[in-house]
Amino acid sequence: MKPIDKERAEGALNFLIESDEEFATAKTEAKRAELYLKKSKAAIFLTSKGSVEARKALAETDGQTGMAERAWLEAEQDYETLKNRRDTATLVWEHWRSLNSARKQGMIV
């Protein structure tokens, strides 16, 4: 593991600053994909014939639903990956701040 020094802490902070918009976009894309999946299932359900259970099954197994599910999962993965990277950067920054504060107080040499 790379030690947390000033350069790494600054890099983490810069990543957080620079990824704000990308993070918001990734979250929005994941939500958009989820909504599209729900609407796709609903549209298939509404246009299908048969019992309620048969229509639900058709909506779940339709090819369009499969494509929408894949798109949603990819968007979720992109969002979660960026979220985890930002969480790690936050931890690096906070750890460095704590170390730096302790050094200033003479607790760490």
Q: How many domains does the chain have?
A: 1
Per-residue burial over 48-62, b if 16 or more Cβ lie within 10 Å, else e, is: beeeeeebeebbeeb
- Say if 32 falls within a structural domain: yes
- Say if 96 falls within a structural domain: yes
44: nearest Cα among 54, 29, 35, 34? 54
- Say if 52 falls within a structural domain: yes
Is residue 103 very low, low, confident or very high in pLDDT (cuts 50, 70, 90)?
confident
Range of the domain at 70: 23-104
Q: What pLDDT is stored for residue 1 in this prediction?
A: 72
DSSP, res 8: H
- Say if 78 falls within a structural domain: yes
- Say if 82 falls within a structural domain: yes
- Say if 15 falls within a structural domain: no
- Say if 70 falls within a structural domain: yes
Reported as a single tens digit per residue, the pLDDT across 34-92 is 999 999 999 999 999 999 999 999 999 999 999 999 999 999 999 999 999 999 999 99
Q: If you average pLDDT over residues 8-19, what whole number do you get?
A: 96
CA–CA distance, 22 with 7 (Å, rounded to integer): 23
75: nearest Cα among 25, 21, 33, 19? 33
Q: What pLDDT is stored for residue 109 in this prediction?
A: 55
Listed in sequence order, the residues at least 6 apart from 27 whose beta carbon sits closer than 8 Å to its beta carbon are: 79
The model scores a pTM over 0.75: yes
Q: Are residues 69 and 30 in contact, defined by beta-carbon separation less than 8 angstroms?
A: no
- Say if 47 falls within a structural domain: yes
